[in-house]
Amino acid sequence: METVHFRVPLEDTKDPRALGKALGQLVRMSSKLANKIDDETMYVKSTFHTPQKKWIRERVFFERCSKHPELDQKTLEYVQSVTDRKRDLGHNDLRPIGSYAMVPLVLRDKKWIGALIEHLRGTDLDHESFHASLIEELLERCGLCEETLDLIAYRAVDGAGQHGGANLQLAYENHGLKEKLEGKGLEDFAKRVDRISRRKPGQAFSGYRELYVANAGKALFAGEPEKHARWLAFFEKRGLKFDATDREVPKRDKAWKPPPWREAWADDDDD
C-alpha cells in the first residue's frame, strides 16, 4: 500500500495570508496527483512545515483555513482536484481524500452543503465512516432548510451508503421531515430526490436504482404502507419497476443513532 506525501512550505501556522499561500501551493501540487499515484496507492497525506521546523497536519491546517472565508474558494478547488470516485483514495482508512478540507467548511456555513454533496459523489459511501454523524450534526445545527433537504434527498438514493436509512429515519422522526412530507409534500420530496439523483435509466450510476428508491421509502415510511405505495408510484411513473420485496413495508423500529459528531471526528489525532 503506497502513500503519496505532500510536504508544503508554510511561513506561519495561523496567519491567514500564510495559510492562503500554502493552500495555493497544495492546490498546485495536488493538481499533479494523477502523475504520482499508481495501482498500489491508497493514501495521500499532506503536512505543512515552517522555517522554524514546526509542522501541522492537514486536518489542523484546514480547520484553520475554514476560519477565513476568503480562503473558501481555494479550499473547494483543492477538494475538487483530489476527489475521484474511480480511485477511492484516503488520508487514512476512515477519512476519504478531501474530507479534511470539506468538513470544517460545511460545518461553518450551510451554503457549502451543495459542494459537500458533490464531494460525497466522489466518496465510497459503501464503506462510510463518519458520514452518518456529519449529516445528523448538520441537521441538528441547520434544521430542515433547502440545503439540508437537498442533502437528505441525495442520501436517499445516490448517497445511501451504509447508514443512509438511519439518517432518513432520524430526519423523519426527529427533525421535522414527517411534517414536511404530509399531503403533497411527499411527492414534492420525491421530485427533489429525482432531480438530485444521477442514478437514472440510461445514465451513469443507474444500477440498483429501484433498490435504493425502495429502501429509502422503507426507511421513511416504515409502518405506513399507504405512503410507501405513493412513494413507489411516483418513481414508477418515471420508468422504475418494483418487485414484491420492494413493496414490503417493515414495522417502525427505533432508529440507530450515529455517534456524536465530536467523538466521531476527533479520533484521528495520531495520523
pLDDT of residue 271: 38
Per-residue pLDDT reduced to its tens digit, 138-197: 999 999 999 999 999 999 999 999 999 999 999 999 999 999 999 999 999 999 999 999
Q: What is the C-alpha separation between 254 and 129, in angstroms, rounded?
A: 21
Cα dihedral 36/37/42/46 (nearest 10): 10
Q: Shortest CA distance to 135 belongs to which of 111, 108, 170, 109?
A: 170
pLDDT of residue 201: 63
- Whether residue 85 is predicted with pLDDT greater than 80 in this model: the reply is no
Per-residue pLDDT reduced to its tens digit, 197-220: 987 665 555 568 999 999 999 999
pTM of the model: 0.93
Q: What is the C-alpha separation between 209 and 227, in angstroms, rounded?
A: 19
Q: What is the pLDDT averaged over residues 112-132? A: 96
pLDDT of residue 250: 93
β-bridge mates for residue 90, sequence order: 43, 96
Q: What is the C-alpha separation between 19 and 12, in angstroms, rounded?
A: 7
Pull the grid cell for residue 85: 470516485
Q: What is the C-alpha separation between 220 and 227, in angstroms, rounded?
A: 9
- b (16+ CB within 10 A) / e for 104-140: bbbbeebebbbbbbebbebbebeebbbbbbbbbbbbe
Q: What is the pLDDT averaged over residues 57-85? A: 95
Q: What is the C-alpha separation between 29 and 33, in angstroms, rounded?
A: 7
| Confidence tier at 268 by pLDDT (50, 70, 90) | very low
Q: What is the C-alpha separation between 107 and 103, in angstroms, rounded?
A: 6
- Whether residue 69 is predicted with pLDDT greater than 90 in this model: the reply is yes
pLDDT of residue 88: 86
| Confidence tier at 79 by pLDDT (50, 70, 90) | very high
Q: What is the pLDDT averaged over residues 31-54? A: 92
Map grid coordinates 478540507 to a residue: 101
- b (16+ CB within 10 A) / e for 73-97: ebbbbbbbbbbbeebebbbeebbbb
Please give the share of the chain, as a percent, with pLDDT higher than 70: 93
Contact in structure between 90 and 62 (CB atoms under 8 Å): no
**How many residues make up the chain in this entry?**
271
